[in-house]
Structure 1
């Protein structure tokens, strides 16, 4: 180093310009020598720059005479100066040695564009076209225009490259921040929103503190004794307003100071906000603010957090300390410390005073601490020795209140037309009564401004009415808003106050709450949609107001929690959630009915839980007690259990476990919310035109689908942010190596990440390095290095132009490394262009990726798929299809890798290829089973006449384990697996029909289990529904299994397929009556109930009554309300008449059932054709030989005729017969004589039926 220093000293004295180059070099090397670990990194990066400058000397003379090349040389100098600016920042960081690895990574990332710029300039000067003679010729012949064009093209190219690099880095940072936000449960937007509360009553409010001597001393003090300032005051004094003024001042201050300004972090404790009342929350907010301003610490935090599922308090304290000590100068502002829960204020102060402040000097860091809070006996003992500012004793603070009163009094004066004296009296009266309490002045003046008349205003100023303290000020507002208001306004105001008192403040919309509740509440803009009124939230104006409302029983928190739990449970179990007709869905969506859905789903359980610890069992309203809330929750569970008829969830299975039942209910509600959100988003453009919908639903948000996530009800403004957030849910454990695929994709478990690191990032050499014997790198040495796991040697050979694919070698380097289980070697080979999808040599039969599937090596398969550069390119599609087919058929766990690869490539070219192939191959798997069943039904265990397709679920569960819970199909409907599942169904909608047609009930049951959207409940090419098919192809004996299958199909029929006909015009009930003579009574009854028209006719005009062929089925039909006994087919025949067509099918029981229902059927004639009566058809249906026929081949009347002539109402039968054309009355009489039908003969005699030819005509 001494030699280098002497050499550099010579350059420093050459000229001022040279000194700017070599001075930083000397400084950097001097600092680096204090820590040997940094020397190698420094030399490596300077070596890169030296390589980029190695051909400059050739152009020395040309540069002197050419302006264009001079400008290029200026660019060189600019790049080097930028480089040194970045490298000096590395060594200016406090504690840089301990953080060197992360600081250096950030430095390399920042200087990469600089080095690339130098290399591009080198390439321009080294190009063949720019050899010396070409350059000289160009200098001589080229004009200024050509040079300008050249410069513009190069500049444009540089811009494109820089923009692409910036885009990549921005995307990477967004992914890191999304992961950290989820782990820390806080976002920068939440932090910024704390400064945007409407507490700045006047522009100059609180600015007096900036001139306070103690504040000024604290601001500039550099000693540890004066670095703490304690700001205190009574409740409502305006402490938070003052703190926000200080924060804004400190944030704006850097613009007036030197660039090395102190970093500011702040936190506002809130007693009524679960995310802002703990030590843990404060640490998370501090960390978040620092990592958003310091890229090094962002990556440091990510490195520490990426492999952890939960960040405990000791870890957060350590991480926060590291983040704070990474800054040279930092200011911490903590407001409302007294509002922290339990003993958290003491813990916070002890950490700040005894850990941070004491350790800061030794870590090269200066910390200033501003604490603000009430004097409640918990924090002042620890802060008593530090400087304090007491608001209630500060004259300038009282002056501030007086200025505020003047502004508000002016408004009141104009409203009620007061005199100047009245205005001054009001200012004096309020400012003196405030006693340093800003809140008092705000509440009193707001209440006075809300008076309805001047008379009411004057009455409030009377001594006996004017509030003496804050409680009396609240009492006056309660009197006006609630007690003196009309019944409607009173009820609304109490409800709103109750909601605000018990709900999460971020989840209550403002709307007209401010107008109804006056000064008791404040409206705040939403951080995501500032300025949008429908997105505002409301809060109780101050914690003192909340306590007063509870203390005076204006609101009863227990009653409100019970009422809210009842409302949420009943709302979630209302008809729009549990199932409405498809034609009603649009109306419900437009009404905005689901505007409360997210809050109810997220907090129903919370409100029920909060009723348990309360002491009182019964409140004034007998309908509202804890038992009622519990019963409502139980009813909600039962309601969702009834809707899960398709086998998705079965709460009864875990009825003995309250915890499991609660999980199942939460999952069912989550699925329902996802479905409804999907419908809303699909129709958003149309729905958002509806004012009522927009007011209740608000702006479009992209929300997390996990019920327990804070982003479930809040969401994100765009889909990209949501996608990043969901990725951090699903695979939170990320690799630390930025170039590794697992850095972006991550793992679901820490053990998986540890296995990945061991396999792919364990680069320890297992062999001694020997320099290659030949200049062109001995290729056989490459095989040896791959076999021994010597990554350094492999890299060396690669730099010496060794062919990594090993095309000329007897063995493939990738195959050798894979078989030797050297994952880090495989990773390097694939990253450098070796294709795992290609067979390395003609003599080999398998590719490396085939070998990974065959050996079931999950990690290697993941490496190949994620690292291969052209995995989804069109040229690789055939290879990818073959790979996915083998994964589906022989290695189901590999499907998870495919899904993650699809998610990673989302939005890129070819990103849909994986999904499409995966859907096709899984569908082929099930279709292949169907063909095998048809060809060899007895050879597979799949074929069984039963409704439980265990093997199908077993296979599907192996492919998509996340779709199952406790062995049952219970999917997360937002998951990638579920989307693939539904796509398989949507593209193969007739698989259910095919399974039912083959009586393969195992397969049919499986399809119904996973078809949660009932996409398969459709009609096929013949318009047969699954119900049609099942009835047609079921057993002749109608076995129990067939009956169970039909029952399930009936339950699944939410689309009304039971009253839709096929191409023959037949409903399922027609098919059932036609398929089985004695169709099961229960099922027939159920099918009839589903029918909208019980007299629906097929294409032949036959109603279900015409199809009945058994006495039992006929009995069910005739007793069913709405069945028309006189319904006629296209030939005009009633059901009764069609039973007379054949004597051998005569069923007396059916006929008697029909006649008991209506005896007129016995003689009712057909409407069309010959208008025959039943007796006509009875005679034609005969199969009995007439003995009197001389030829002996005639056919006489049948048994049906005897049945009709034996009826007591035979007279009507005979008269109807005689009235129709061509009656053969004598043949009927002869039959009656022969069969000895005495009653019929008496009637014939009575009416003269069949006595003569004349009578026959007359009759």
Structure 2
């Protein structure tokens, strides 16, 4: 049993070492208790000079107990230098987290809890060696401490943890919960007499609770991930990778040569540069080689750029919430998110294919950014470095930008074996079809190999073209050496020339190619059949009479490929470019025709809301709605693209007619005003160039609401303010699902007919921005599970809050959000965030309120004011006349009266909380009062008035002095605890008294001066300097306000602890403490809120300045 226990703990220790890395492990092993205490003292001195002490006495119990019992526990656990893995991680965590007050405070609280859990070890001193039950509990406790350090070190060692702290800490902190709960349960072992069975029950209950918490946390993470995926609206690269793997399945060894290439191996082993440029001619097989490298890297690296980083999901989710509900489209935000994720994810491997398919400007931007992110780290073995493979053609821009990094050029020699294997395989199929001899087949293979010139795509196109010939004569004609293409364009031209000359077939081929070039997503063959079955003139969908009998291969030869999911696409990106470049397809005209087709289709009678369910069910059985998903989602996108050119009057009239009919069928008046984007007005202007349009205003609303629907990721993606199309789709889908379910239950074969029209995944998401609006699910349970990840029904009632849009998945989360964020009324934003009104100071005698501290200190509440306390008993009115009391100064020769406890001029001079001007004013006032006391008879009214005033002033100034000195006394206590010498900062100015930047704390000044401030782009040059100066001052005051409030909170918590230790606190006293702490916390939140708002404003200004640079309006960004 002992061996098992030791082994279990040793495994946990080994896991901690492996996750920490050799450098940190060596540092931890060398850390002693003395080194930890020196580090704590250094942190405390720094915090004291910055006035943000955080009660580090919370560490003392943990440190003291570990120091006393460490050696015994090391012997018990059979582990040498165990304490090094306590002191080392503790020192590391405190040093790293000390720069962020909230993070540091969380660590201190956790160590305090652990220390309290260890406290009962004191009562078991002597039992540890002889009691197996206690030994097991001790082992479990140290296992928990090790687990806590493993989790915390993993978080705080991330290079950019500060940037994501606010968003990720609450999620990451939840991982500490099971550890802390486990430590608390261990106290039962020491405090109660438990059996082994009871101990096992406690352990099992702990595991059960931890598993339940983990499941809840994972569920919330998946909900956030689903929202993020909808927001990003990124390409499905995982499906692409699967398709490429399927292509390679016929020859698993194809392309593997690149994994043995010395340049690739040097990059992978980080011997060479962090970047590698793989380049080759078009059609050389770069994409397939890329998929091979992706698979290889997945085996070696924990992170890749297209795999989500679970620890950073809360950060990305919060950024999504802050940017609003629109779909992701910001280049600047993309760069920021990628930078944070990459720098916080250890080793990251980026493999980027298809650079040459981007525009020159975009290509240059991508290359510059990739180079910046990859950098040139000195240590190639660094766990935080980023390595990258770029795959593209060799062109001027790419060659210039990447001229100094290793380059792996794909040559014909590299691809020869793979091409030969493929051609030989396909050649055997040609031989079988045309009954060729072995000699003829061999000659054909060698001829194609010769003409391919190392281009895998060209070889594929040629051999497939040969297979598609209809007679041996045509085959031999194609094999004529003069006819075999040697360039891709020649191959494409040859394939187009081979399309059947029959008018109908050729028109169908051109139509199919046109749709594939302009489609907004991959089209399924059944959707294409549904589109060609639409007859707008007859207002019908005739699937049986209009569908194509020929398939895509018969129509377009080898230009079109069918993917594993049944969708169609062109054989290569160069095919699309060829079709556009040679004007085989007029893109703008095709876009406009597709828009007219979609809109006209949606205006057919089958989509009318008054149509009975029985009629809809009948139409479903004919394939009437096969094109519905695509048409409803993309009609506005095709229309916008098609109207980027000028159209003639005939086209305009036809378009107006079909749009008017569409609006007549589906338009509904919006409940609120629609925000119309400029793009909608541009579309309307193009349509109305040949005359006015009576329903143009309705069109603007319908176009804008549809664009919003397909670009947002919230519940709005399932609704449309101005069109009933989402309701129509929901109704049709319900009837379709019901019909399919009934057919399956009754065993009828009609389901197969439905599947041929609508696919096997009939249960679809209602949100148009979600990929599953089109893809769907095979069962209703899968769809409901998916929708639960979307739904966040508990929305914040504060309209200005981003959670009013995103919502929460539970009522408890909503309540916590409101408590944390909306305790006070939201204020309007100005050019700078507005300042909160100062908290008034209230005199406890006259109850008068003061905004200014100085006025409060010197005010007179005993004069003729109606608030004057008439019955305040003077302090010690039985005092005798004394000496040296004429003016309250010790050097006065003719002193007269003196009341013990009354303020003197010398005492005022020694009050540290008063400024010079305040001291002069107070001393003058006190002298006058003492003059009255010395010159008046005791029973007189003058004497009583002067005595009362001096009594009240004495009490008030001494109260303020005591409040001022309490933090100093607390600091002295902490100095005695850790034997530290804290240097007091001279001339400290509180944040609300700061008038000039130089008055800020030096640490705050350094932080502010290290930032770049971006003024409003439209601001006059002569105003910029003042604006920047004001911005620095306000930003610095907000930072100092935040830090001072945190310091006050720590000091206030100490005060509460002292008072609690005295006992007998009344309910009113407790409530008073709660209210005071809440007021201080609000001050800290206000500082944080200002910093956040100002940062967001700077992001906006920075983006506007960047646009000016990119447009050539200015040359340099401002660097104030």
Name the TM-score, length of structure 2 as normaliser.
0.57
- Correspondence for 1:575: 605
Q: 1:646 to 1:216 in 2, by over 3 A?
A: closer
User: How far 1:86 moved relative to its partner?
Assistant: 2.3
Please give the alpha-carbon distance, in whole angstroms, between the structure 2 residues aligned to 1:88 and 1:175. 27
User: How far 1:687 moved relative to its partner?
Assistant: 5.7
Contact map agreement 1:577 1:672 (CA 8 A) in 2 = yes
Contact map agreement 2:761 2:775 (CA 8 A) in 1 = no
- Correspondence for 2:395: 376
- Correspondence for 1:540: 570
Please give the alpha-carbon distance, in whole angstroms, between the structure 2 residues aligned to 1:690 and 1:178. 31
- Correspondence for 1:113: 178
Contact map agreement 1:703 1:722 (CA 8 A) in 2 = no
Contact map agreement 2:275 2:374 (CA 8 A) in 1 = no
- 1:1167-1198 deviation line (CA, Å, top 9, x unaligned): xxxxxxxxxxxxxxxxxxxxxxxxxxxxxxxx
Pairwise CA RMSD of aligned residues? 4.7
In the alignment, structure 1 residue 241 sits paired with structure 2 residue 288 = yes
- Correspondence for 2:251: 202
- Correspondence for 1:607: 638
Aligned pair partner of 1:302 in 314, 317, 335:
317
Q: What number of residue pairs does the alignment pair up? A: 725
- Correspondence for 1:178: 226
Please give the alpha-carbon distance, in whole angstroms, between the structure 2 residues aligned to 1:293 and 1:52. 34
- Correspondence for 2:154: 89
- Correspondence for 1:231: 278
In the alignment, structure 1 residue 674 sits paired with structure 2 residue 730 = yes
Contact map agreement 2:526 2:756 (CA 8 A) in 1 = no
User: How far 1:151 moved relative to its partner?
Assistant: 7.0
- Correspondence for 1:27: 88
- Correspondence for 1:522: 561
Q: 1:179 to 1:581 in 2, by over 3 A?
A: closer
User: How far 1:488 moved relative to its partner?
Assistant: 6.0
Contact map agreement 1:230 1:387 (CA 8 A) in 2 = yes
User: Helix, strand or coil: the match of 2:323?
Assistant: coil
Please give the alpha-carbon distance, in whole angstroms, between the structure 1 residues aligned to 2:1071 and 2:95. 42
- 1:770-809 deviation line (CA, Å, top 9, x unaligned): 55476243112134345x4533999xxxxxxxxxxxxxxx
Please give the alpha-carbon distance, in whole angstroms, between the structure 1 residues aligned to 2:605 and 2:563. 34
Contact map agreement 1:182 1:725 (CA 8 A) in 2 = no
Contact map agreement 1:562 1:625 (CA 8 A) in 2 = no
Please give the alpha-carbon distance, in whole angstroms, between the structure 2 residues aligned to 1:95 and 1:59. 43
Please show how residues 677-688 of structure 1 align to structure 2 within 5 Å: 677-686=733-742
Contact map agreement 1:180 1:302 (CA 8 A) in 2 = yes
- 1:213-232 deviation line (CA, Å, top 9, x unaligned): 22222223366xx2222121
User: Helix, strand or coil: the match of 2:802?
Assistant: coil
- Correspondence for 1:790: 1077
User: How far 1:421 moved relative to its partner?
Assistant: 2.7
Q: 1:744 to 1:574 in 2, by over 3 A?
A: same
Q: 1:233 to 1:755 in 2, by over 3 A?
A: farther
Aligned pair partner of 1:467 in 477, 480, 485:
485
- Correspondence for 2:54: none
User: Helix, strand or coil: the match of 1:306?
Assistant: helix
Please give the alpha-carbon distance, in whole angstroms, between the structure 1 residues aligned to 2:371 and 2:520. 33
- Correspondence for 2:457: 439
- 1:34-80 deviation line (CA, Å, top 9, x unaligned): 34346554443233223333335656777766666655554444333
Please give the alpha-carbon distance, in whole angstroms, between the structure 2 residues aligned to 1:17 and 1:5. 26
Aligned pair partner of 1:504 in 520, 544, 553:
520
User: Helix, strand or coil: the match of 2:731?
Assistant: helix
Please give the alpha-carbon distance, in whole angstroms, between the structure 1 residues aligned to 2:1080 and 2:520. 61
User: How far 1:721 moved relative to its partner?
Assistant: 2.8
- Correspondence for 1:216: 265
Please give the alpha-carbon distance, in whole angstroms, between the structure 2 residues aligned to 1:696 and 1:729. 38
- 1:110-136 deviation line (CA, Å, top 9, x unaligned): 232222223334335544xxx3xxx5x
Q: 1:416 to 1:153 in 2, by over 3 A?
A: farther
In the alignment, structure 1 residue 157 sits paired with structure 2 residue 205 = yes
Contact map agreement 2:596 2:658 (CA 8 A) in 1 = yes
- Correspondence for 1:659: 700
In the alignment, structure 1 residue 560 sits paired with structure 2 residue 590 = yes
Contact map agreement 1:772 1:781 (CA 8 A) in 2 = no
User: How far 1:109 moved relative to its partner?
Assistant: 2.4
- Correspondence for 2:615: 584
- 1:984-1013 deviation line (CA, Å, top 9, x unaligned): xxxxxxxxxxxxxxxxxxxxxxxxxxxxxx
Larger radius of gyration: 1
In the alignment, structure 1 residue 493 sits paired with structure 2 residue 525 = no
Contact map agreement 1:590 1:687 (CA 8 A) in 2 = no
Q: 1:575 to 1:113 in 2, by over 3 A?
A: same
Q: 1:168 to 1:355 in 2, by over 3 A?
A: closer
Please give the alpha-carbon distance, in whole angstroms, between the structure 2 residues aligned to 1:386 and 1:704. 46
Please give the alpha-carbon distance, in whole angstroms, between the structure 2 residues aligned to 1:751 and 1:791. 13
Q: 1:742 to 1:380 in 2, by over 3 A?
A: farther
Higher mean displacement: 375-384 or 726-735: 726-735
Contact map agreement 2:590 2:642 (CA 8 A) in 1 = no
Contact map agreement 1:654 1:660 (CA 8 A) in 2 = no
User: How far 1:556 moved relative to its partner?
Assistant: 4.4
- 1:804-860 deviation line (CA, Å, top 9, x unaligned): xxxxxxxxxxxxxxxxx9999xxxxxxxxxxxxxxxxxxxxxxxxxxxxxxxxxxxx
- Correspondence for 1:1014: none
Please give the alpha-carbon distance, in whole angstroms, between the structure 2 residues aligned to 1:660 and 1:522. 39
Please give the alpha-carbon distance, in whole angstroms, between the structure 2 residues aligned to 1:360 and 1:754. 50
Contact map agreement 1:94 1:364 (CA 8 A) in 2 = no
Please show how residues 213-362 of structure 1 align to structure 2 within 5 Å: 213-221=262-270, 226-254=273-301, 263-265=303-305, 289=307, 292-295=308-311, 297-309=312-324, 312-354=330-372, 357=375
Please give the alpha-carbon distance, in whole angstroms, between the structure 1 residues aligned to 2:169 and 2:82. 21
User: Helix, strand or coil: the match of 1:206?
Assistant: coil
- 1:1124-1143 deviation line (CA, Å, top 9, x unaligned): xxxxxxxxxxxxxxxxxxxx
- Correspondence for 2:955: none
User: Helix, strand or coil: the match of 2:119?
Assistant: coil
Name the TM-score, length of structure 1 as normaliser.
0.51
Aligned pair partner of 2:217 in 169, 182, 186:
169
Please give the alpha-carbon distance, in whole angstroms, between the structure 2 residues aligned to 1:707 and 1:156. 46
Q: 1:342 to 1:724 in 2, by over 3 A?
A: farther
In the alignment, structure 1 residue 692 sits paired with structure 2 residue 753 = yes
Please give the alpha-carbon distance, in whole angstroms, between the structure 2 residues aligned to 1:497 and 1:729. 47
Higher mean displacement: 694-703 or 723-732: 723-732
Q: 1:744 to 1:697 in 2, by over 3 A?
A: farther
Please give the alpha-carbon distance, in whole angstroms, between the structure 2 residues aligned to 1:586 and 1:50. 70
User: Helix, strand or coil: the match of 1:334?
Assistant: strand
Q: 1:597 to 1:746 in 2, by over 3 A?
A: farther
Please give the alpha-carbon distance, in whole angstroms, between the structure 2 residues aligned to 1:777 and 1:753. 26
- 1:878-920 deviation line (CA, Å, top 9, x unaligned): xxxxxxxxxxxxxxxxxxxxxxxxxxxxxxxxxxxxxxxxxxx
User: How far 1:572 moved relative to its partner?
Assistant: 0.8
- Correspondence for 1:966: none
Please give the alpha-carbon distance, in whole angstroms, between the structure 1 residues aligned to 2:524 and 2:367. 33
By relative contact order (CA 8 Å, sep 6+), the higher-ranking structure is 2
Aligned pair partner of 1:628 in 651, 654, 673:
654
Contact map agreement 2:793 2:808 (CA 8 A) in 1 = no
User: How far 1:390 moved relative to its partner?
Assistant: 1.9
Unaligned runs of 5+ in 1: 139-146, 255-260, 267-288, 527-535, 619-623, 795-820, 825-1259
Unaligned runs of 5+ in 2: 1-32, 39-63, 528-550, 675-683, 685-692, 707-721, 745-749, 829-835, 837-1040, 1086-1120
User: How far 1:678 moved relative to its partner?
Assistant: 3.7
